[in-house]
């Protein structure tokens, strides 16, 4: 039997609501039949910063069910409610935008923070199983009554080969809490990645970036690297999560005149309610809730967000028959976040390059 070459599909999705859960596997079957079932694995890639995928293991814990996925995300949306005075949404501060752009730019800092906090990824790899749903999670699908169009790339394959690994040093600032745009040309990181792809002639594959075990108090995400979002809103969350919940969460909105001495009590109460909802969705016991809340109170920055220690980037030659390249949406950047100073002002990333066959 002739070996199957990797199969790449581009899908356009139309969310029905601002928050929507779309079964991409079902959409593919409707449009292309049961092509994916011929392959062992499939990589799913979102080209957006407020819509993405969860790891397969997390979806399994949520029973691969919209009924369990929706309350999971609703809980994070209560941590990051819309219209809560985010710096990112104060258009008069967005000096990089023209006046015309300020008029139509969506107020969606809550969606960006929910994406980061809930552990959504731009790129995930699933083992194919008959009839298994695969959910594209949309957090910002409508703005001022206009439905967005979303793009996602699906790449099915049967085997993979690890062709290169390396460790790359990233210089960091003197700030305890900071976000680093790994696409910034000053680091030379993306240029080096592209050079490796060309050296090993990767046309369909994946680049995995991971923090080594010794790299603590740090995480990775793929999102919009907008200064107010990552240097103000995200820093507020990492600096003092309890105060943040009290200011932005339900208690603050319902009782804006809270006295300072009540802040910690109300924030803790909100966290308990929110974690109750999360644990109900994940179907785990109350002892786990208590452990999580205690960890949030004692080590807030590392437990408050579902920050990942690894991310993946799709490599494809797309419709061209040329060299493979890293595939990313217009506003996507891989971001290294840390909430404690790095030793010698340097952090390290382990890079693994994989070819699909």
What whole-number distance in Å separates Cα of residue 116 and Cα of residue 153?
21
For residues 105-123, give the mean pLDDT: 93
Whether the CB-CB separation of 225 and 333 falls below 8 Å is answered with: yes
In a domain, residue 127? The reply is yes
The pLDDT tens digits of the residues spanning 249-273 come to 444 334 444 434 443 333 344 444 5
The pLDDT tens digits of the residues spanning 269-303 come to 444 455 555 555 555 444 544 444 444 434 444 44
In a domain, residue 152? The reply is yes
The pLDDT tens digits of the residues spanning 138-151 come to 999 998 888 899 99
Q: What is the pLDDT of residue 244?
A: 66
- Structural domain span for residue 258: 7-356
The pLDDT tens digits of the residues spanning 322-353 come to 789 999 999 999 999 998 889 899 999 999 99
In a domain, residue 2? The reply is no
- How far are the Cα atoms of 37, 225, 335 from residue 182, in angstroms, in the given order? 35, 10, 6
For residues 163-187, give the mean pLDDT: 94
Q: What is the pLDDT of residue 262?
A: 40
Q: What is the pLDDT of residue 340?
A: 87
What whole-number distance in Å separates Cα of residue 82 and Cα of residue 84?
6
Residue 173: what are its φ and ψ, rounded to 5°? -85, 180
pTM of the model: 0.85
For residues 71-93, give the mean pLDDT: 88
| Token code pair at residue 321 | 């028959």
What whole-number distance in Å separates Cα of residue 35 and Cα of residue 16?
26
The residue ranking higher by pLDDT, 66 or 238, is 66
In a domain, residue 157? The reply is yes
Which positions ≥6 away from 15 have C-beta within 8 Å? 22, 51, 138, 141, 142, 147, 148, 150
pLDDT level of residue 137 (50, 70, 90 thresholds): very high
In a domain, residue 41? The reply is yes
For residues 112-117, give the mean pLDDT: 92
- Which of 72-76, 97-101, 133-137 shows the highest mean pLDDT? 133-137
In a domain, residue 205? The reply is yes
Q: What percent of the chain has pLDDT over 90?
A: 59
Q: What is the pLDDT of residue 308?
A: 87
Q: What is the pLDDT of residue 1?
A: 43
What whole-number distance in Å separates Cα of residue 111 and Cα of residue 30?
29
In a domain, residue 135? The reply is yes
Which positions ≥6 away from 131 have C-beta within 8 Å? none
pLDDT level of residue 356 (50, 70, 90 thresholds): very high
CATH code for the domain in which residue 94 is found: 2.60.120.460
Identify which of 138, 115, 123 has the alpha carbon closest to the alpha carbon of residue 42. Answer: 123
In a domain, residue 118? The reply is yes
How many domains in the chain? 1
């Amino acid at each position: 039997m002739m070996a199957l070459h990797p199969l790449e599909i581009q899908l356009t999705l139309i969310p029905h609501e601002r928050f929507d859960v779309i079964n991409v596997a079902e959409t593919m079957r409707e449009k292309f039949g049961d092509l994916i079932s011929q392959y062992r694995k499939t990589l799913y890639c979102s080209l957006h910063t407020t819509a993405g995928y969860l790891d397969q293991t997390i979806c399994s814990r949520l029973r691969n069910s919209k009924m369990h996925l929706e309350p999971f995300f609703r809980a994070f949306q209560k941590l990051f409610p819309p219209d809560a005075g985010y710096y990112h949404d104060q258009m008069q501060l967005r000096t990089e935008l023209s006046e015309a752009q300020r008029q139509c730019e969506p107020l969606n800092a809550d969606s960006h923070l929910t994406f980061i906090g809930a552990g959504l990824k731009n790129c995930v790899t699933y083992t194919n199983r008959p009839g298994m749903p695969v959910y594209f999670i949309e957090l910002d699908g409508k703005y001022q009554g206009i439905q967005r169009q979303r793009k996602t790339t699906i790449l099915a394959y049967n085997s993979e080969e690890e062709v290169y690994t390396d460790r790359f040093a990233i210089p960091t600032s003197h700030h305890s809490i900071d976000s680093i745009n790994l696409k910034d040309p000053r680091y030379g990181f993306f240029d080096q990645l592209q050079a490796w792809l060309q050296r090993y002639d990767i046309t369909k594959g994946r680049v995995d970036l991971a923090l080594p075990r010794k790299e603590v108090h740090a995480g990775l995400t793929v999102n919009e690297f907008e200064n107010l979002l990552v240097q103000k809103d995200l820093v507020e969350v990492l600096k003092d999560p309890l105060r943040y919940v009290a200011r932005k969460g339900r208690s603050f909105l319902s009782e804006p005149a809270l006295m300072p001495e009540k802040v910690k009590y109300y924030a803790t109460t909100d966290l308990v309610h929110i974690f109750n909802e999360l644990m109900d969705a994940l179907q785990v016991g109350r002892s786990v809730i208590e452990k999580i809340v205690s960890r949030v109170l004692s080590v807030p920055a590392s437990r408050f967000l579902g920050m990942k220690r690894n991310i993946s980037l799709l490599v494809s030659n797309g419709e061209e028959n040329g060299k493979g390249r890293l595939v990313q949406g217009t506003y996507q950047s891989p971001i290294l976040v840390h909430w404690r100073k790095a030793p010698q002002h340097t952090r390290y990333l382990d890079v693994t390059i994989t070819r699909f066959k």
